[in-house]
């Protein structure tokens, strides 16, 4: 028994000594420079980190990092923590946990992905109290609307046959929608929640259902987004608004679009279509392009 305890003590001593020198000699600056260059080389995005350190037991912590993509996309994080999964590594997979403090809130994600087959990835992402205005500001092109409030939610992705299934939901607090409408003052809208069911295959995102609920009623959309990971992506979504009765009355009193919308009084929904490029989508409501 004494020999076992003595052996255990020596093993812990050796392990502690090794970990001490690993943390003491950890090449933080070299790893930071390597990560910035490698990410730019493989994806074309500019990645900058002000500081990088190794935290016990095996977590890489980054402070004040910035990712800048093509055409003006920019995401800043006050803090980012990356914990690689060695279990996934020994199985030939990339995986781990990523936590970001950004957009006025927190984002955390856990993922495992076979190196040879990205469509077999499994993971989930949690959004906590993000600022909607800051989130929409990530768009490289000015949007014809704004949303105030905070958003939280969860997304899950996993293999579905030979595709990657993605589903999730968002809960919005104080989500006032501000619309820049050329045909008069648009009625006030408060968004409450968003639900998504979709499948990804070879750069094509099949939208099975998007359901948005709010003070206006509900909006449902289905369709596809092609080239979703490229610069020339296009979307084709169609569906309808099942309006709240008060909201429908407000629309019919608007100039320009009012007479068109009044045709749908008493019907279940107003047709909606969103089509065009991801940079400049075209919205059609009740047959009128907005």
More confident residue, 13 or 28: 28
Question: If we measure between CA atoms, which residue out of 156, 163, 86, 82 comes closest to residue 118?
Answer: 163
Mean pLDDT of the chain: 76
Q: Is 259 exposed, middle or buried (0-12, 13-18, 19+ CB in 10 A)?
A: exposed
Strands 234-243 and 217-226: antiparallel
Percent helix, strand, coil in the chain, to 5, is: 25, 50, 25
Q: Cα(97)–Cα(123) distance, rounded to whole angstroms?
A: 10
Using CA atoms, how far apart are residues 267 and 287, in angstroms rounded to an integer? 15
Q: Coil, strand, or helix at residue 116?
A: coil
% of the chain exceeding 70 in pLDDT: 70
Q: What is the pTM of this model?
A: 0.76
Find out whether 124 and 116 touch, Cβ atoms under 8 Å: no
Report pLDDT digits (tens) over 99-109. Answer: 989 999 999 99
Q: What is the mean pLDDT of residues 155-177?
A: 87
Mean pLDDT for the stretch of residues 263-281: 77
In tens, the pLDDT along 211-247 reads: 999 888 899 999 998 876 555 678 899 999 888 878 7
Contact in structure between 243 and 272 (CB atoms under 8 Å): no
Q: With pLDDT > 90 as the criterion, what percentage of the chain qualifies? A: 18
Contacting residues for 56 by C-beta, under 8 A, at least 6 apart? 19, 23
Can you tell me the distance from the alpha carbon of 8 to that of 23, in angstroms, rounded to the nearest whole number?
A: 22
Q: How many CB atoms lie within 10 A of CB 44?
A: 9
Q: State pLDDT tens for residues 254-265.
A: 666 666 666 666
Residue 148 near residue 178 (C-beta atoms within 8 A): yes
* Choice among 14-23, 130-139, 278-287 with the minimum mean pLDDT: 14-23
Q: Is the pLDDT of residue 181 over 60?
A: no
């Amino acid at each position: 028994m004494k020999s076992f305890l003595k052996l255990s003590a020596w093993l812990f001593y050796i392990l502690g000594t090794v970990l001490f020198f690993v943390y003491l000699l950890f090449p933080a600056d070299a790893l930071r420079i390597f990560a910035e260059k490698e990410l730019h080389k493989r994806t074309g995005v500019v990645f900058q980190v002000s500081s990088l350190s190794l935290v016990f037991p095996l977590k890489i912590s980054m402070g004040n990092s910035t990712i800048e993509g093509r055409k003006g996309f920019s995401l800043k994080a006050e803090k980012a923590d990356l914990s690689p999964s060695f279990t996934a590594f020994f199985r030939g997979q990339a995986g781990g946990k990523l936590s970001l403090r950004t957009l006025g809130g927190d984002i955390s994600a856990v993922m495992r992905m076979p190196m040879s087959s990205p469509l077999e990835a499994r993971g989930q992402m949690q959004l906590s109290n993000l600022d909607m205005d800051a989130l929409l500001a990530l768009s490289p092109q000015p949007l014809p609307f704004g949303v105030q409030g905070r958003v939280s939610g969860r997304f899950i992705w996993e293999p579905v046959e030979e595709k990657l299934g993605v589903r999730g939901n968002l809960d919005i607090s104080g989500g006032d929608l501000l619309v820049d409408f050329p045909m008069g003052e648009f009625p006030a809208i408060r968004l409450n929640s968003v639900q998504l069911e979709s499948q990804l295959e070879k750069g094509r995102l099949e939208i099975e259902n998007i359901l948005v609920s709010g003070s206006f009623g509900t909006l449902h959309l289905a369709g596809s987004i092609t080239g979703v990971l490229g610069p020339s992506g296009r979307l084709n979504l169609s569906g309808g608004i099942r309006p709240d009765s008060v909201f429908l009355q407000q629309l019919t009193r608007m100039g320009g679009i009012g007479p068109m919308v009044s045709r749908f009084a008493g019907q279940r929904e107003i047709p909606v279509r969103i089509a065009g490029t991801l940079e400049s989508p075209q919205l059609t409501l009740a047959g009128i392009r907005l």
